[in-house]
Structure 1
Amino acid sequence: MAEGDLEDFAAALNAAGIDGWINAMGLRLTRATRDEVEAELDIGPQHRQAYGVVHGGVHAGIVETLASIGAALHALPEGRSVVGIENHTSFLRAVRSGRLRATARPLDRGRRTQVWEASVHDEEGRLCATGRVRLLVLEPDAVLAGQRPGAPG
């Protein structure tokens, strides 16, 4: 592994504010390397569904976001980008308030796909959700929804 591979990009990504979903949800990255991505989220009314618990989409979004960031940090040095093609998230414990903490790590990083696994815990360290995301690695000349990934749009 080359020096710098474990560089932490969390502060730079938080400051960049380029992901609308992350900003809308209030997700804060606390660590972002090519081998591990961590984040936290303070639960507010915008995160709850009608029963007053955190919406499953929030958990699934956290899982996909952390996996995507880690996979991208691994692919970008080669000029590649990644897109999620499968997200399987299981909801294990309902949570209504407090802070969620999540971590994602790679299970497999192949030439064409990556698979990442993530977990979401409540303030007391109890597992609330777990998920696995499969991502497609795109070549530098790939077009996604009519333009190259990362192009202004």
Structure 2
Amino acid sequence: MEKKKQDILNRCNELCKNNLLETLQIEFIDVTEDTIVARMPVTSRVHQPDGILHGGASVALAESVGSAGSFVFLGSTDLQIRGIEISANHVKSVRDGFVYATAKILHKGRTTQLWQIPITNDKNELISMVKLTTLTLRT
């Protein structure tokens, strides 16, 4: 299982190159039977002008990890995943360290998937709660 897990993480991190995920320095760090986890450093790169994490960066992190989860958990390489609806409640601010997004699938349909994605800080405190719906397109 450990080799398969590392292969999945390597594949997800390879998809981060030369796009928004690389710009935000998003890194996939764990995968289980029903979750996938990514982290993002909180630096001036993702701050609002007043020095706290921008909510849009949190939403980009959540959509990235949920979309990757759909790709991984649907188990096919001939898929394109699109986020079609996302909502976020930001409940705590953060200035530095890392934030962690843990995507857990609530509905795993062939066409749509529903994800719950809490974002936490280094102390495992809730920063944002995100709900994401993804759409699967066959290529």
TM-score range, shorter chain: 0.7 to 0.9
More strand by share: 2
Q: Which has the larger radius of gyration?
A: 1
Change (3 A) 1:87 1:34: farther
Unmatched 5+ stretches in structure 2: none
Q: Does 1:133 align with 2:95?
A: no
Q: Does 1:88 align with 2:87?
A: yes
Q: RMSD of the alignment, in Å?
A: 2.1
Read off the aligned partner of 2:92 and give its amino acid letter. R
Number of aligned residue pairs: give it.
136
Deviation >3 Å, runs of 4+: 15-19
Alpha-carbon separation, structure 1, partners of 2:13 and 2:33: 16
TM-score (norm 2): 0.87
TM-score (norm 1): 0.80
Q: Percent identity, aligned pairs only? A: 22
Instruction: List per-residue Cα deviations over 1:81-112 (Å, max 9, x = no partner).
Output: 22110011110101111111221110001122
SS in 1 for 2:76: helix
Instruction: List per-residue Cα deviations over 1:16-35 (Å, max 9, x = no partner).
Output: 54451110011111024672
The residue aligned with 1:55 is 54
Q: Does 1:105 align with 2:108?
A: no
Is the Cα contact below 8 Å between 2:12 and 2:68 reproduced in 1?
A: no
Unmatched 5+ stretches in structure 1: 141-153
Is the Cα contact below 8 Å between 2:9 and 2:29 reproduced in 1?
A: yes
